[in-house]
A and B are shown apart, each in its own frame.
Chain A
Amino acid sequence: MARVGVFVCHCGVNIAAKVDVAKVAEEVGKLPEVAFARDYKFMCSSPGQNLVKEAIKEHGLNRVVVAACSPKMHLPTFQKAIAAEGLNPYLISMANIREQCSWVTEDPEEATAKALDLVTRQVKRVAHQDPLEDIDVELNKTAIVVGGGIAGIQAALDIADGDRKVVLVEKSPSLGGKMAQLDETFPTLDCSQCILTPKMVEAAKHPNIEIRVNSEVATLDGYVGNFDVTIRRRATCVDEERCIGCGLCQEKCPVKNVPDEFNAGLANRPAIAIPFPQAVPAVPVIDRERCLKLTKDKCGACAKVCPADAIDYSDEGSEETVKAGAIVVATGYREMDPAVYTEYGGGTLPDVITGLQFERLVSSTGPTGGHLKRPSDGKEPKTVVFTQCVGSRDPSRGHEYCSGICCMYTAKHAMLYRHHVPDGKAYVSYIDIRSPGKSYEQFVRRAIEEEDVRYLRGRVGRIMRLKSGKYRVFTEDSLVGRPVAIDADMVVLASAVEPQAGAVELAQTLGIAYDADGFYSEAHPKLKPVETATAGVFLAGACQGPKDIPASVQQGSAAASKVLSLFARDTLKKSPQVAKVDPTACTGCLTCSYVCHYSAIEQSEFAGRQVAEVVAGKCQGCGACAATCKNKAIALAQFSDDEVFEEMLR
């Protein structure tokens, strides 16, 4: 006989303001299954949990229902609490009377009635729950880090320093990510490459790290501790093992007009090229669309000059499967294409450039060797307008969110410009200045007060190219309340931070959730900022939302610590939510095996006939087999027909 204890939480006023919690406890106490019921201000607090423990002892409870927030939030908390009292942790159920009742119901009476109904259902359900034991599974202690920018490098280094193997997968030909393209960094103005490249080299030389550049994750199978990851390498036509990185091939390549991605399209490069001088690995890649040998079967110059015989035109790429226990996703962001902003030229005005392009123009490794020259005529710009929020905070054509980093990098850009052109005039058009990081506000004040950058509060309405070659920027100074027109030599657009191209497809491959903007969703916005809802897959850097370098590094380290704490165990506890076949009812049709996504159902024998059998270690507990079985021979633990019916029927 079930002796259920019911604990109704006020959640401060979150539930109690709408739901008459005392009445719910009183009414539910009248159910025959309920041996004890009460309400309390914060059930999840330590005294709240003690209350549950005490009641189990005092009233001999063998089942517990907690009516509080979503089970996604606190079910594990209460499972631990009842387990401490010797009760099986699966003999508990939660009634979601906050997210799915008090917060979504207008009328207090209706909310109370609904809460009572929800709690009653869980009482009926919990009475049908069985005690379950977690399943022990083996754990592979190799981690895969997807993305070789600063967040991914940091995560890989931290995991590798913890003496675990890492496979670092990077889509482009080199590690480094966006940070490699930056000139100096806020708020210290230290050189980006000077702090990044040693880390790139460290990652490449680390005995525990294997690098896979030009590669992407193609498929993912398995589950936490036991992932099978297929990594697909694109055809590069250069043998990474043989290449000595001399660069002769790119010197001799006759095709010189390929837009240079590293220089944000401001320069051209050959069809075979090392992406940038400090690239790791320093191995060139052939652009298959532009190479004369591959497109017209002419030339072959690179193969002729290569002293290491590293060029292989027949390369078709390759695939390998890696076994891993955890995955860190650190795929970063891309800069939004300002094409929709036609009033700013939509990318057609040569001297209206993006923030990333400006970084390349002032960088000593950039197309101008660090001398600030505007793209159209190579002249030094004497007046520059920096325009913030291009695509950010603009739900009509761009994104609703704030890109977070642009206020700071615009202040930096304006300062860098003033350092390059001391007699030049820098204007910044902004909506608000957002500078909440450590030493950030001081940095912006320095730009305004010491570096004579002129900040104008207002959004740029239009940029017009004049016959003189200048650009008339129409904006306003809303603090003074007047329109402003500035004749500038160059305009820099702080284009929004966007999820990478293909971010959604990768999320689908990895089975992780993403938000409406395409950024990956963390398991909890405050308490689980690096976990995803999929166990064993963690997030780092701007793929989760716009982030600057310090925040990306922090999250990279945080994800690594999560991986290392996972790897500190020798076996993993797996949820007992698995399917089980009743061989006496099974007819052996094996329809269940066709719907199983994990190949967890095998053919077996019972009493001399064919039956299905579930391999518990492989089963992920989706229940597709149970819903498909014609004879109801399959039961899914925690979601058996009985349990679902009891919850839905009253």
Chain B
Amino acid sequence: MTTGRSRRRAASPLTTRPDRFFLWVCLAPALLAVIALQVYPLANASLLSFREWSLTNSTEPGDFIGWANYAKVLADPVFWGAARTSLIITVCGVALQLVFGTGLAALLRKGRALHRTARAILLLPMVIAPVAAANIWRLMFNSRSGSVNAMLASVGVTGPEWLADPFWSIVAIIVVDTWQWTPFVMLVVSSAMLSIPQELVEAASVDGAGRWRAFRSVELPMLTGAFALVVTFRSLDSLLQLDTVYTLTQGGPGYSSYTLTYYLYALGLRNFEISSSAAGSWLFMIIVAVIIVMMFRLDRASREVSS
């Protein structure tokens, strides 16, 4: 007869002291890398955020000044404007990507050659560097010589000043983000669709459900996990994006397309306000963490409701 303790021991492949030592030796480089690359910078940024340090005044961090850097960032209207813009871009962009990605995945789920080719072509935007993609779109959005307004003109619509108008500049960023990352959503949702047992869909059609009804009532609820994954990843990515905004609008006109990452870039790397930038980064991290936690809770709640 074996005890629970000995059963656990038997289940563990590394039981002896030399084994465990070897395990730690193998793990040590990875642990050190994690500490050096993740924990240390975060801890250092946290310490810096409570000190006074502008690189243009001193090459060394100054005195501890408590929460002053946080208060300064929180009192800056540009920070709140940037937070609002980041949220608008993320919510609108991810929603559009979800709709288009799911639609494309549903349309191209068959294994026919045409579908496979279309899928491969649709994946192309995802492999283009965001800076290059934004550059291409900057030319296309040119109100006079760009192809977007030329296409609109061909159907009798006068295109807007995409990059010179406070509203349309944000729309332009959302369009580029949607164009580039819809294929990612399509890819993930396609994989999730393939894992749905076909018997369920067939059973629904036997019960008289049409294709749309079967998709809505049988497949869509089973894709909730994939949607949660996609929304989490894409929201994070979208909140963190800097290259598209930098290349497309430089945060303009005025501050209208300033995002949180652009704000932090300008604060830290252009103005050399190191400690304020560290405080801003922590605030940004908290905002992102809150959003992610809310998403997980929503996902859990929706699963409970559907189950």
Please indicate whether A and B come from the same complex rather than being unrelated chains.
no
